[in-house]
Every structure is written in C-alpha cells, then in structure tokens.
Structure 1
C-alpha cells in the first residue's frame, strides 16, 4: 500500500507491474472496488480501470440505473507526466483504507491510473528536461504505435483510444472527465493549472458550470486546505510582449483533445496540468489535492451536474428539431480573450537586461509576483460557419465512415426504401494536404462551396438523424470545412482522388439534408 515514489524518496515512478500490484492489494476484500480492463494495449497489457461504488455496480447499465453521476479520471496519457498515475493510487488507498470513504456516498468513480500502459515502462533519463529528472527516469510520450493519445480523439487510430471511447465513454457515459497532465515548462506561479472543456460548436452550459462554479470552488478549497495555488492554464511570451506580460494563451479548441471532445458530447471535463518545474512529491501533492477537491465537489453537487448535462443534451436535440436549415454554427475557430481578465495572475518575476549583442532579454528571478488584469486568451469564436442540418445521408459504399461514427456512439440508420432529400450539397474544388506529417497524417483542408440541392438516395444508403445526443460532435466530424473533422484527418482522401478532384470539381459525398422523405 506504499507507492513506488514513496518507497524511493520520490526518485522513481511506478512501473506497470507496480501499479497493478498496488491495485490488487488495495482492492483485495473490498466490496466497494473492483478491477475491469478497458482493453488490451499493443503489447498485450490490460489497461486497468478501478470501479469504485457503494453499493458496487456490476456493469455500466447498473451504474447509470443507479442515478448517481459517474466520474472518470485518468493519468498517464503521456507517460513522462507521471504524477496523475501516482496521485490516483494515493486516492485509491485513502478512499478504500483511509478517511475518504464518503466520496462514494453519492457518485461512482472510475480510476484509470496508467492509460498509456506500454509506453510507461520504456523509461530513460532526460526525457522531461523541465522536470529536472524528478523522477530520474520516465516513459515516452507516444504510444506503441507512435501516436500521441491526446491528439487522437477524432481519428481514433490508437488502440487505447478505441478502447476508451468504445468500452468506457460510450457505455458508462461519465458526467465528468478529468485528464491529468504536466505542463511542458512555462514558468507561471502556480503548482497546477486547469482548463475546462472548450465547447466551440457544443452547448455552453456544461462549460459555464465548470468555469464559473467547479474550478473556482475547487481552487479556493485547495488553497484553504493545502496552501497550494491553482490557476488557469496558459502560456505567455516575454519575447513578444516584453515584461511584464500582458496576456496568457490556452491550447487550441480541437476535439482531437479528449477534454475538448466532451464539450461536444454535452458533458463536463477538466484538464489538469501540474507545474513541471516542481519536484515529483510537490506535483503529486498538487494533483492529489486538485482531484480530491474535485471529488468532494462532485460528491456534493453531482445531481446538479447531471441536470445541466441532460439539459444541454436536450437543447442540442431541440436546436436540430427547431432550427435545422435556419441557423449557422461554427466549424472553424480562432482564439480570443475571455470577457474578464485574470486578476492577480501569479508569475515568476523577470529582470530586463541586455545581452552581448545589445538585444533586450529577460532573466527569471526567484520570487513570485502577481500581475493585474492579464488578458486571458481562453475563448474561441467562429471564423467559418455552416448551416445546421436535420441530418446527413451517407452513400452505402462509405462503410468506413459509418463504422467510425458508430465507434463514437453515433446512431446511424439505413434507408429501407428509396428517398428524396432537400438540403445542401458541398462542391469541392481543391483538397490541400500538409507537406509535413502530424500524427502520421498529412492533414487536409478543403476548398469549395455549398449550394441548395435536391437528391435521390437508394435503399441501403445510410442516414444520420442529427436529433440525437451527439448532434454537436456529429456536426463537427461531418462538416467538410470543419477544422478537426473527418476531412481533416484524411477519411475522404481516397474518395476525392478516385473522383478526380485534381482535374475537376467533385461533390462531397455526404449530403446535408433539411428534409428526408
């Protein structure tokens, strides 16, 4: 019941075998805990998920029927960022053997401490220089197939992503998803920074609740109980803005990031980023405190969270029913400031100086100061929009698109007779592919335009009625000009090549309908 860092004076992090042995001991003889496998990794390791519930539930169906919120928390999506893996083991110990049993009164918890199971054990020194070899050795960032698991939420190339979406996210339907990371090295003044799920084309209410209520309350509680400072996630650039800085900037909005995808699923999510420059024991402490207070909050407010999520889901469906063909929704976005700046932003102080070339440069000083009214670029506004349809028709030969949508939990139906559709057809004039691979994809950007159209479809073709819970995610994936949709991730490259797009305009094969009969 002692973690590897605790045994080694925080010089080492847990191996896969260490985590599995810890889980086995922790849950032995406990009615409130059981171990399930999310799926197997490429190297054949079971990806462990500990189910914590009182009374215990034996399936996702039982969990949802209980009426309790399900909270999913994962560590080790990037194997060099180890404190989430360790903090979840400590929390497991305290819930089952210590003084945190009450956290199971009103919720069901799913802990996945070692999501990237294979890469965890491929340890070497110097992989995370900003962590200053604390621990001495860590695993590698990509999974065994070479993919970054936190860029895989839409394309689902990785075996781990398929397992997570199909075996956890879709059947268990967590009300809140928490993803535990470490920053890559920005010198802000917080022990941990956080971000909500950026909703973009989704419903705003789950984001608002996370941003306005969960994160402020949790931040205050951690400061009060642990004297640990938490704050908003963001990078800053002294070279661009000089000193003092004027702005901070979050990461982008794409649903390829798992936290962001939850905004399109009408659910809440939180990104946790421990401060890389602190020692491992400090990063474990801040991550532990953050997750502990999140669970205190969800245990107290879970029913309100379920209500907000359900209302957002119904609003997404109602929008389709009432406004299909009438309103525009964003498909490409740019980062903009939030309405309110960050007051009292904590940051290491800097000294302005001149180098040997006479250039102004900045040296970081040891003390932390606070800056007033720092502009927070953590919002997004659409730069390109598309008409919200009632649904989409997919030709029967595009079975790979249909199967991919189903893996995400989308309901796809088959036409039982010939049908006529009225809506919009997109005519592509070019498909521009990046010359530099990203995540083993030469990402694509389409050019073209929509026009009003009527089309006939055959029995056996597929259709997606957008009046369903995942309406916003479907819209983002299937709209051709989306900045993180299936066109972007090369799902239609072969179709456009065979159709001769290089020589002539070609219709995008998925028809956007307003009426289908």
Structure 2
C-alpha cells in the first residue's frame, strides 16, 4: 500500500523542487563554466528574498563604484534584529565574496548554498536552529563591473570575471585596517553590525602547482592567541580538514611558497591587519580565507568552496555555544591585558610535519627565453612529509597605557577609531598632562607607492616623559576596552600595520619653518653664549665629526635644532600615552 506524504513534508518537497527550478544559477546553466554578473547576482538574491521570508536583503553605506554594499541575512525565525538574535544565543557567520572579483568561486557557491539552505530547511535544521548567516554577495562592486576574460592570466575559468582592483584601483584585501575606500568603511559597518563569530573570505590562489583543489589560509594562531587559538588549532582545523576530505576535496593549509617550490616546506601566511582575517582577529573573530587552486577547473573550485562553507556551518551548528563562550572570555581578558605584541617574526626553529601531495618540480630550458624555467610535472605526482612553519613569536611588545591622547585635529584617525567601535572621550578643559611622547628616530619608505601609500618600514622610536599642553575637545582613548587590540595595533607607531606606517601622520615628518643662514649666524652666537650645555655639545661634535666641522650649514642646523626656534611638532608622534599616577 502506497503511503501518502504528510502535508508539511509535501510542502517542503514542493518548496525544494520549486526553488531548484526557479533559482537555477548562471553557473549551473553553463555547466560550471560561467559566473553571475553583478546585476544577475543582485537580482537573484532579491527574488530569493521575495520568495523566502527567511531571507532579508539589506544595504549599507556606499562603495567607490557608487553602489551600496549588500548584506544577505538568513534567519529561520524571520527575526533579523541582531540584538534579539544575540540574546537568543545564535551564532553568526559572515561570508565575503568577490573581494578579488576574478576569484568568483564564492559568488556562485554562495548563491547555490543560500538557495539550498532556505529551500531544504529540514535537511539543514541544525544549522537553521543555531546559526545566523550573513553573505556579502559582491564586495568589490567596481571590480565586478569591470568584467573581462584576460586579467586572470594564470587561472582556469570561468569564461568571464571581474578585475582585482576596485573602482579606484585599490586592492581591497590590503585596505581593512586603513579604510581608504568606501568599500572598506561600509564593510566595517557590516562587520561590527553582526560581530560575527566566524568570518570566511572566498579567494582563488596564485603560486605553486599541487594536487589539491582547496587550500585554507588560516588565522595565525599565535597572533589570535589564548583560548580562541587553542580551539582553532585543536578542534576547528582538524574538523574542517576531515570534513573536506570526506567531501572528496582534501584540503591543506594555504601554500605560501612564493619564490620557492613547496616540496621542501613553506611558512604559514602571516595575516596582518591589512588583510581580512588579520583585521577580524583584532576583534576576536576567527577568520579564514578559502583559497581554491587557480589551475583546477572552475566547476571543481566552486564545488569545493560550497563544501567548505557548509563544513564551517556544520561546525558552528555543533560548537556555536562553545565558540561564543570563548569569544566572550577573550573579550573580557583583553580589557585587562597589560602587554601586547605589535610585531611578529617567524620561528624557524619549530615546524609542524605536513603530508603534502604535489607534483615534481623540474627545471627545463624555456622555449621563450632559452634560459632555465620551472615546470611542475603532473605526470610525476608525489606524497611526502614536509615542514610547515606555522609558529610565530612576538618581536616587539608594548605595555598598554591607561589612555592614548590624540589632538582633535587628527580627525581622520578619530573617524576610523569610531567606525571600529572604539569608545572615545573628550577633554572638558584645556590642561597640561605628563605623558609619554614618541619621537620618530628613523624609518624607511619605498621609492614608489603601494596601495596609494608610501608604507613605512624599519620604524625606530624614542620615548620620553614630558609635560604636554592639550586643548579642550582633544580625544582620550581609554585602553580598557574589548577592542584594545585594534586600538594598540593602529596607534602604536611600530605596529605592523599602524596608522603611522600607513602615512596618516606624515606631516610630522617635515618642518614648516626654517632659518636663513646669514640671519641665524647672529642668533647662534647668542644661543651659545646663553646655553653652556649646548655650547659644550656643539664643540664636542665639531671635535669628533670631521664632516660636521667642515660644513657651516650642518653646524648652524645643529644649533637650530637644539634651540627654542626648532618646532616641537617635527618628528613628534601626535598620539600620546598617558597613565594615571597611583
């Protein structure tokens, strides 16, 4: 006797069939060879949201292209109030797609996954019961609109795709900390709106050839630190690697082998805060960049990205409460943390053994240049254990002050702090405070720009304690917040991606006034007569420095720079460290 379907089950089945037929993607229609345009993708999500009340489509701010940034939210109970959902104990996942629009795998994987989740809620009940999903369908909208089929020279499909640079030709995966672009500022708004527990940024790799379709660029555990790092290392990574293996897309850590072949080992990619996962780590969100292999067929890359995101969701459905608890514990701990690393170095004395499936690298004669060239021989696959250097140690550490004080004129910095949820206070009166002052003793800069900046390296500072006058309205940044890592890693000038390194304070590196030698000669005589200590230093330098003793200008400049005429702002870093006396 044939059993009848229950009305509820029949409704679910009908919904699934309807969704699969109506919401078939361009990727599926093309047999896995094409990706959706911006217009097609946004239209697709709008229709999904109209059909399924479990989806809400929001817009945030703007991008450099003039279009807003979209956020697709999925909530089983049709509740899209973040505060309400957090109070119910829901976990949050944020997926970011098309940061590099030529790397479109996540665009198509997300479109299908969102459809499959909402149209087959019974199958994915655990995910729906526990996880709120946010998807940015296209982050680099300007790049998506700049569609072509040639710029990804090394990549195997799709037929057409977007361009890496955004509407202002920025690489957005270098802009998370500096927020130069409207895209980055709108992303920060979304990120802090959701405060996600896990973040996934979808990419396609460049570099070496090997057997894997999917690699994973993992949040650096030492930098993430504490209980979150322990969970990442001992639970999350093993789970995801096993999930991908069972999905027939065995995965390995991102193959960071630039300039070398991976068969002899490679270091973990260091995700500083300019990158998405390094930025999210400042706010105690575990971040990943999925990195499919550029030479694998597009269909395999999209399928592996789909499987990867689904694995993250499965883990969150299972471990969501634990992840939230670890994040809460970390947020509380960082409020009282006394010492913070601001630069890191690779620990080459330690490594993890990694079973790696690659292809034999060979060096043959180039038909183009006649010189030696590298070629991976796919007829010679290998499996061997290689060293994976995934340990980093703190290089420079700083003690936190009670406050950073920033004069109100530096509004570009203040704006970024506020955007990233930093609580600020303002002085109510003019005042004089004894503070720690940094002076920039040395730095180096490139000859050409990079991402619109002349990024400073090898920064050397000198710290002195002195009294400084501050004005009413100047900003005090209390360093007792759960965003302390963001505060310290942007405001400490030597930090790896500090605002100083990104040229936010370059005007202090130049003088605005100077002297005419023929006029200053007479003042110099007066200064040496009045300041015997200055005279002693001057004479000593003349005796010990031959070049100095032969240069009239150098001698006058020495006296000038050690006189009251020398402007106090020159090389004085305008972010001051203040600690209250006990």
On whether the aligned pair clears a TM of 0.5, the verdict is yes
The counterpart of 2:104, out of the listed 82, 94, 105, is 82
How far did 1:355 drift? Answer: 7.7
Partner SS for 2:60: strand
1:61–1:172 Cα contact (<8 Å) kept: no
Aligned partner (choices 476, 483, 489) of residue 476 of structure 1: 489
Distance 1:7 1:172, change over 3 A: same
- Counterpart residue number, 2:550: none
Alpha-carbon contact 1:203-1:316 (below 8 Å) kept: no
Q: Partners in 2 of 1:360 and 1:159 — Cα distance? A: 42
> Retained in 1: the 8 A contact 2:403–2:579?
yes
Q: 1:388-425: per-residue Cα shift (whole Å, max 9, x none)?
A: 22221111222222112111211111122455645522
Q: CA RMSD in A?
A: 2.6
Change (3 A) 1:478 1:221: same
Rounded Cα–Cα distance in structure 1 between residues aligned with 2:347 and 2:578: 32
Contact 1:130 1:185 in 2 (8 A): no
In 1, are the aligned partners of 2:350 and 2:389 still within 8 Å (CA)? no
Query: Which structure is higher in strand share?
Result: 1
Alignment of 1:149 onto 2:214: no
- Indicate yes or no: 2:272 matched with 1:250: no
1:390 matches 2:408: no
What residue number does 1:163 align with?
A: 186
TM-score (normalizing by structure 1): 0.90
Distance 1:500 1:379 in 2: 48
**Conserved in 1, the CA contact under 8 Å of 2:257 and 2:266?**
yes
CA spacing shift, 1:398–1:42, aligned 2, 3 Å: closer
2:360–2:382 CA contact under 8 A, matched in 1: yes
Partner of 1:486: 499
Instruction: For residue 214 of structure 1, give the secondary structure of its aligned residue in structure 2.
Output: helix
When residues 516 and 29 of structure 1 are mapped into structure 2, their CA distance, relative to the original with a 3 A threshold, is farther
CA distance in 2, matches of 1:194, 1:118: 26
User: CA deviation digits over 1:345-396, x for unaligned, max 9?
Assistant: 2212334667898969654233432211x22233322333333222211112
Residue correspondence of structure 1 range 208-247 to structure 2 within 5 A: 208-224=230-246, 226-236=247-257, 240=260, 245-247=263-265
- State how far apart, in whole Å, the 1-side matches of 2:314 and 2:207 are: 29
Q: 1:338 to 1:282 in 2, by over 3 A?
A: farther
Determine which of 281, 297, 314 is the counterpart of 1:263.
Answer: 281
Partner of 1:506: 571
1:5 CA drift (Å)? 1.4
Which of 459, 462, 465 does residue 449 from structure 1 map onto?
462
Separation (CA, whole Å) in 2 of partners of 1:191 and 1:180 = 13
1:405 alignment partner in structure 2: 417
Gaps of at least 5 residues in structure 1 are none
**2:217, 2:269 within 8 Å by CA — same for their partners in 1?**
no
Asked whether the equivalents of residues 207 and 263 of structure 1 are also in contact (C-alpha less than 8 Å), the reply is: no
Measured in 2, the distance between the counterparts of 1:222 and 1:55 equals 30
8 Å CA contact 2:70, 2:138 repeated in 1: yes
Tell whether 2:330 aligns with 1:307.
no
> Is the partner of 1:450 in helix, strand or coil?
strand
Give 1:154 shift.
Answer: 1.0
Gaps of 5+ in 2: 1-22, 515-556
What's the counterpart of residue 495 of structure 1?
508
Distance 1:342 1:412 in 2: 46
Question: Which residue in the other structure is 2:147 paired with?
Answer: 123
8 Å Cα contact 1:64-1:172 kept in structure 2 = no
After alignment, is 98-107 or 287-296 more displaced? 98-107
Q: Residues 222 and 417 (structure 1 numbering): CA distance in 2 closer, same or farther, change over 3 Å?
A: same
Cα distance, 1:46 vs. partner?
Answer: 3.2
Q: Is residue 436 of structure 2 the alignment partner of residue 415 of structure 1?
A: no
Greater shift after overlay, 445-454 or 484-493?
Answer: 445-454
Residues 65-107 of structure 1: CA deviation (Å, up to 9, x unaligned): 3321111011111000011000001101110113335421111
Q: 2:13 maps to which residue?
A: none
**1:321-360 correspondence runs (5 A):** 323=338, 327=339, 329-337=340-348, 339-351=350-362
Between 452-461 and 274-283, the greater mean CA deviation after superposition: 452-461
Alignment-derived partner of residue 13 in structure 1: 35
Contact 1:61–1:171 (Cα < 8 Å) also in 2: no
Residues 369 and 392 (structure 1), Cα distance of their counterparts in 2 relative to 1, 3 Å cut: same
**What per-residue deviation string (whole Å, max 9, x for no partner) do you get for residues 152-177 of structure 1?**
011101111100102x1122211111
Query: 1:232 Cα deviation (Å)?
Result: 0.6
- Secondary structure in 2 matching 1:507: coil
- State the Cα distance separating 1:26 from its structure 2 match: 2.2
Query: 2-side partners of 1:112 and 1:90: how far apart?
Result: 14
Residue 412 to residue 127, structure 1, CA distance change in 2 (3 Å): same
Question: Do the aligned partners of residues 358 and 344 (structure 1) sit closer, same or farther apart at CA in structure 2, a change above 3 Å counting?
Answer: same
CA contact (8 A) 1:191 1:286 kept: yes
8 Å CA contact 1:87, 1:287 repeated in 2: yes
Q: State the Cα distance separating 1:335 from its structure 2 match.
A: 2.7
| Distance in 2, Cα, partners of 1:358 & 1:492 | 46
Q: CA deviation at 1:337?
A: 4.6
CA contact (8 A) 2:213 2:251 kept: yes
Cα distance change of structure 1 residues 15 and 462 upon mapping to structure 2, 3 Å threshold: same
Q: Which residue of 2 aligns with 1:66?
A: 88
Q: Which has the larger radius of gyration?
A: 2
Moved more, 94-103 or 214-223: 94-103
In 2, Cα distance between equivalents of 1:111 and 1:506: 44
Q: 1:34 to 1:417 in 2, by over 3 A?
A: same
1:222 positional shift: 2.2
More contact order relative to length (CA 8 Å, sep ≥ 6) = 1
Identify if the C-alpha distance between structure 1 residues 487 and 18 changes in structure 2 by more than 3 Å, giving closer, same or farther: same
User: What is the total number of aligned residue pairs between the two structures?
Assistant: 503
Identify, as 1 or 2, the structure richer in helix.
2
